[in-house]
Amino acid sequence: MKTLLITGGAGFIGSHVVRLFVKKYPNYNIINLDALTYAGNLENLKDIDGSPNYTFAKGDITDEVLITKLFEKYKFDGVVHLAAESHVDRSITDPFAFIKTNVFGTANLLNAAKEAWKGNMDGKRFYHISTDEVYGSLGETGLFTEETSYDPRSPYSAAKASSDHFVRAYFHTYGLPVVISNCSNNYGANHFPEKLIPLSIHNIKNNKPIPIYGKGENVRDWLWVEDHARAIDVIFHTGVDGETYNIGGNNEWTNIALIHALCEIMDRKLGRESGESAKLITFVKDRAGHDLRYAIDSSKLQRELGWSPSLQFEEGLEKTVDWYLANQEWMDNVTSGQYQTYYKKQYEER
């Protein structure tokens, strides 16, 4: 019987990881810690809410007293750390919120794990999930590898780079058993609609402008969120202490090409004439410090741990559109803020 702490488990990626671990490992006790900020939504996990091996704890990773008490209460064998502020635009507006959560919050968890596991770290693991944005920007060629030097360009990526360094420092200084992964852009179900794909789906359906930064020439590698969850499972269980693993989808798309593909799918799904949704594309002023291109080399993960992406982007995008069109109530609740009432009904009003 293992007891695992998963932070940020009510968020987009976190909810897929929590669901996978709860269903795949019935002998694990999964504690999901989430502050339920704007992007944390317990409706993402309604299907497992009553599972006997699942517990939700509301709280902030920066709360030292809370984190210490959780380690004392549950005697965690492992931590899967996903909780983070992650939207670049928000980091430009409020960088200190990102420093607090991503840097101090991570250090707080590391220190709690170090103290709790002091003297007996056998079988323990601290897994920190990070981003490819810490590597900076690529030109037209080349890929990010685990050996690529860090070159963060936004407050978000700088905060994540700092948290990565703290994780490695705790490994080298204190012998804390850690692994790190850096992933490319995720997409799929339950994605908060501030990000490009869910925002565009929502706007297309409602005949609103689709905002595209600059000329839409920025390139991203897209990773289906369920493939990412599978990679996290593999790395947590079979990764080597102190190692970093890059997770990518092998799907490079310019933003404008992605949106045109999405518009074609939406036209077909909504019964519109081909090209109708593309008329909504609106180019806006480029984001400050906007990196041109990200692309991940995940060959180490594939070669050493046997993981590989299961979907190509076109198939994954079709699945993603189908989910959002079939879950309009979820989107309505998220865009109106009503999703926050789920916690009160499920926990505070019991």
Q: Where are the beta strands (DSSP E) in the chain?
A: 2-7, 28-34, 54-58, 78-81, 125-131, 178-183, 185-187, 210-213, 219-224, 244-247, 252-254, 281-284
From 282, 121, 144, select the one nearest 221 (Cα to Cα).
144
Check: CB of residue 113 under 8 Å from CB of residue 76. yes
The catalytically annotated residue of 54, 127, 135, 156 is 156
From 74, 132, 131, select the one nearest 106 (Cα to Cα).
131
Q: Give CA–CA dist 159/74, Å, rounded.
A: 29
- For residue 5, give every residue at least 6 positions away whose Cβ sits within 8 Å of its Cβ, in sequence order, or none: 31, 33, 70, 71, 74, 76, 78, 79, 80
3-state secondary structure of 129: strand
133 included as an active-site residue: yes
115 included as an active-site residue: no
348 included as an active-site residue: no
The catalytically annotated residue of 34, 60, 132, 227 is 132
- For residue 86, give every residue at least 6 positions away whose Cβ sits within 8 Å of its Cβ, in sequence order, or none: 39, 131, 156
Q: Give CA–CA dist 168/107, Å, rounded.
A: 11
Phi, psi for 46 (deg, rounded to 5) = -60, -30
Check: CB of residue 140 under 8 Å from CB of residue 294. no
* 275: number of Cβ within 10 Å: 11
Q: Give CA–CA dist 122/62, Å, rounded.
A: 26
Catalytic residues: 132-133, 156
